[in-house]
Chains A and B, each alone.
Chain A
Amino acid sequence: MIVRSIRSRRPLPVPFLPPFVEHRELRGSAARGEKLPVNIQIVMRHPLSGAPYCAAPYVKANIINAGDGWHAHPTQALLDLYTIMNRKDRVAGLKVVIVGDIKHSRVAHSNIWCLTKMGANVVVCGPPTLLPDGLETPQRLFPGVRVETNIEKAVKDADVVMELRLQKERMQSGLLPGLREFIAGYQLDNKRLALTKSDSIVMHPGPVNEDIELAAEVLHGERSVVNDQVTNGVAVRMAILYLLAGSKEL
């Protein structure tokens, strides 16, 4: 069952629709004797942070967070991890640089949790207006990451560079002077890519604003794994649904 909150702005993007929960397939399961409640997984995308936590106590079905506000996007982090694992021997010790609008990005937040847990060294890079608050204060409630506002310094010897999508409304709200400055300061182009390790990979959760976060030459270049991310997204999300449905094997 795909649930769209009345507050949601848009439906789930097509690649996120797991095929076996479509109504047709449910009918197939029912024909094999499975009862309806067994099949129900709630996939929830919501513009407000914490919405899945708010809903969870009131339903028996599993709720899969498909992105809530600025808070988290766990399945994206898992597919990103899977993509990195396909390309690298190990995650521990890798230098992963996340560039762009970190503050408003649930993708960045979940990747910070996921990649630090796996032992990667995470660097976040963006203009100070787009960096989360409190990262510099020593604390126990958020993973330790390095903050670097200069992209050349940030991507030096990086194993992975992950650019984030820039929402256009950031310019209107005074957080950025404009696209031109963002591009000059934070776009990953071939020149900056040359500062990373020779076997580095370039990621982006999509949809890419071409020639804004990623120069076309990088997006379509040989280091880009953006298409792998899309492909892996289907597999990882199917796996999540499968496991949460109580299946014993993958």
Chain B
Amino acid sequence: MKDLIIKGGRIIDPANKFDSVGDILVQDGVVKQVGTGVSAGPGSEIIDARGKVVCPGFIDLHCHLRQPGYEAKETIATGTRAAAKGGFTTVCCMPNTNPPLDNLPLVEFVKSLAEREGSIRVLPIGCITRGRKGEELSDMAEMARAGVVGFSDDGNYVKNARLMKCAMEYSLPLGLPIIEHCEDPDLAKDGQMNEGIIATRLGLCGIPTAAEEVAVARDILLAQLTGAHLHIAHVSTKGSVELLRWAKQRGIKVTGEVAPHHLTMTEELVLGYNTAAKVNPPLRTRADIESLIEGLNDGTIDIIATDHAPHTLNDKLCEFEAAASGISGLETMLGSLMKLVDTSKITLPVLIAKLTSEPGKLLGGRFGSLKPGVSADITILDPEARWTVDAETFTSKGKNTPLDGETLKGKVICTVFGGAVVFNDGQ
């Protein structure tokens, strides 16, 4: 493998509190040297990153690669290529596949597929309960040994509180987080979008914010009781942010993530029965967005994760109530969030931390930094580049995005995984 030198970019590495213009030397797939005075040996490959931002490869703690079972929506091959295009070098895939990832052979299957066909690192998440049915625990310890990085019934809430308590207790010696999809199914029953005047106008059944918040509150108390690490997936409401803040102040071991669409879009996008804006949890209000951003800045919300949920054209080309929930988000993540940087809602280093060092911490500190010696997972982005979203050109099979046709500022131009260029804009 040839040496690789990334020259002259603004290197932002939050894990090592590094933010300065410099070069990165990559040898044999690992980071060798970061900073100034890096010299290129003969025959090294050089990437000119002047005027660009260079940071650790992004980590997506929450995406749906759909394989096995829903290959028409996405595969590990297409999903990881889309992720590389979005600047990700590590993705954690949710287990709501068909069959659900709730046992060792399936985890091994996904890992071997990712090994053979994936462009980047895929870390599977295993089910909390067998078949995601919420009735009995899955083989959590066996899956932990096989390399899952957490447990989740994502898409379903573990409604039985006693079972959730057991799952948390059982997860303790495994040292892995319980990632909960917080949504009370009775409160959210038949729900299509955020409850409120827009749901009323459209004649759609609303999902109250309390459907999420009662679930968050219950699980925080169970985490307090058990001492387990609870990670709240896709936080979408002001009330959830406040509950998380309360829990963290009391030293409860809880972390939280937010999806790009919940930081940038409101429920008004649903007007006109726009199925591209149908997502679960639903798009909320301006007040929720303000609170989520505040949570990102004060550390209440640790991580930004895409909840990339690809669907086929037919899954979305139908009546709103019949349409699937989810947004294809890997390829628009950076462009949509740079708007928050440009409007001074968050700083670029904070944004990068939420995509690198923070999810890296949750994964045990193995990824998400540019410390010499680690796998050379590096993303180069142009914060000034303007581009127009054309869903048809997505690498992901899921073309379902409410951002189609929008002009965004900020683009990933190169992604390096293990020292190899896995995405290069324009090639």
A residues whose Cβ falls under 8 Å from a Cβ of B: 7, 46, 48-51, 53-54, 68-72, 103, 106, 109, 132-135, 137, 139, 141-142
Contacts and interface: CB of A to CB of B under 8 A. Distances in A.
Given A68-B203, A72-B203, A133-B206, A141 B319 contact: no
A49 B205 CA distance: 10
Interface string B281-324: 00000000000000000000000000000000000001111100
Contact of A50 (B197, B206, B208, B273): B273
A48 B321 contact: yes
Contact of A106 (B198, B203, B319): B203
Contacts of B199: 133-134
B67 to A, nearest CB: 30
A170 to B, nearest CB: 13
18 contacts: A7-B319, A7-B322, A46-B319, A48-B322, A50-B203, A103-B200, A109-B200, A109-B203, A132-B200, A133-B196, A133-B200, A133-B206, A133-B208, A134-B197, A135-B200, A137-B196, A137-B197, A141-B271
Given A53-B273, A133-B206, A48 B200 contact: no
Contacts of B206: 133
A53 B317 CA distance: 12
Contacts of B204: 49-50, 69-71
B40 interface: no
A135 B199 CA distance: 11
Interface residues of B, number: 22
Contacts of B319: 7, 46, 48-51, 54
B173 interface: no
Nearest to B204: A49
A180 to B, nearest CB: 25
A132 B203 CA distance: 9
B213 interface: no
A54 B200 contact: no
Chain A contact residues, majority secondary structure: loop
B250 interface: no
Interface of B: 195-206, 208, 268, 271-273, 318-322
A218 B197 CA distance: 33
A72 B205 CA distance: 14
A71 B202 contact: yes
A247 to B, nearest CB: 30
Contacts of B197: 132-135, 137, 139, 141-142
A54 B203 contact: no
B71 to A, nearest CB: 27
Contacts of B202: 49-50, 71
B233 to A, nearest CB: 25
Contacts of B203: 49-50, 68-72, 106, 109
B195 A133 contact: yes
Nearest to B195: A133
Given A49-B204, A139-B197, A141-B201, 6 more contacts: A50-B204, A50-B273, A51-B319, A134-B200, A141-B268, A142-B201
A213 B393 CA distance: 56
A144 B271 CA distance: 19
B272 A53 contact: yes
A141 B321 contact: no
A106 B201 CA distance: 10
B136 to A, nearest CB: 29
Contacts of A139: 197
Contacts of A71: 202-204
A54 B320 contact: yes
Contacts of A134: 195-200
A66 to B, nearest CB: 14
A141 B198 contact: yes
A106 B204 CA distance: 11
Q: Which of B196, B201, B318 has the most CB of A within 10 A?
A: B201
Contacts of A142: 197, 200-201
A54 B318 contact: yes
Contacts of A132: 197, 200
Nearest to B205: A70
A106 B273 CA distance: 16
A115 to B, nearest CB: 16
A141 B196 CA distance: 11
Q: What 9 pairs across the A-B complex have the smallest Cβ distances?
A: A71-B203, A134-B197, A50-B273, A49-B203, A70-B203, A132-B200, A134-B196, A48-B319, A48-B321
